Structure 1
């Protein structure tokens, strides 16, 4: 299980991964959450500007949301418009369960996902730790 915080600055969400930046693996704009990931964080944070999540690749008791990988791809036009750092690929996920109920929300995750998990997992389970 990984614990990751996200911070909203001037209307944009960023993953709070200072070690990614310190290791020279990319810029802050690599950590930009866009294409549905931003609106998912808005939902989970209840309109706040900071949230911490536990994200697991195995189901666990007390999870709040479940994501399943749908397809590899990216919307380059959107990434350019949002100022995301250029990337070769990404993956689209569907949030298909929220708080024990069926739910449908697509979101895109960039290659930083591979930095965090070593892969693009097929499924992820999420719990809100702090808002």
Structure 2
């Protein structure tokens, strides 16, 4: 059975996206979605200021995959992920996901599967 969890992403009036992690002990700035992740959320959110995504390390029905293409563990942390396609459209959208990804998954997964809730 695939373990999947739902996470909320909120776009504030400033135009900046943040993941909503009530248990996060760090600073809010760590939760900002930047370097392409914000563009992906704009696309997936289809104009909405709030997006809920189901995230898992294993494929599940209707999911789309993000693939880790570069790991930055030795300097800035996190990694570059690639969203090849979404909703039948080729995107080739690269995005940096910071070490908050490790908080969510316990590691930096090679593949992250997601689906809009």
Determine if the TM-score, normalized by the shorter chain, exceeds 0.5: yes
3-state SS of paired residue (2:23): helix
Gaps of 5+ in 2: none
The range that moved more, 90-99 or 50-59, is 90-99
Q: Distance in 1 between matches of 2:36 and 2:72?
A: 14
Question: Deviation of residue 96 (structure 1)?
Answer: 1.4
Structure 2 counterpart of 1:66: 65
Structure 2 counterpart of 1:48: 48
Question: Deviation of residue 88 (structure 1)?
Answer: 3.6
Which of 9, 13, 24 aligns to 1:6? It is 9
Q: What is the RMSD of the two structures over their aligned residues, measured on CA atoms?
A: 1.7
Name the count of aligned residue pairs.
112
Pick closer, same or farther for the CA change 1:4–1:61 going to 2, 3 Å: same
Structure 2 counterpart of 1:93: 81
TM-score, scaled to structure 2 = 0.88
TM-score, scaled to structure 1 = 0.79
> How do 1:1-131 and structure 2 match up within 5 A?
1-9=4-12, 10-20=14-24, 24=25, 26-63=26-63, 65-73=64-72, 88-129=76-117
**Per-residue displacement from partner, 1:99-124 (whole Å, max 9, x unpaired)?**
24543110110100000000110011
Question: Deviation of residue 14 (structure 1)?
Answer: 0.3
Gaps of 5+ in 1: 75-86
C-alpha contact (below 8 Å) 1:67/1:97 kept by paired residues: no
Higher helix share: 1
3-state SS of paired residue (2:77): coil
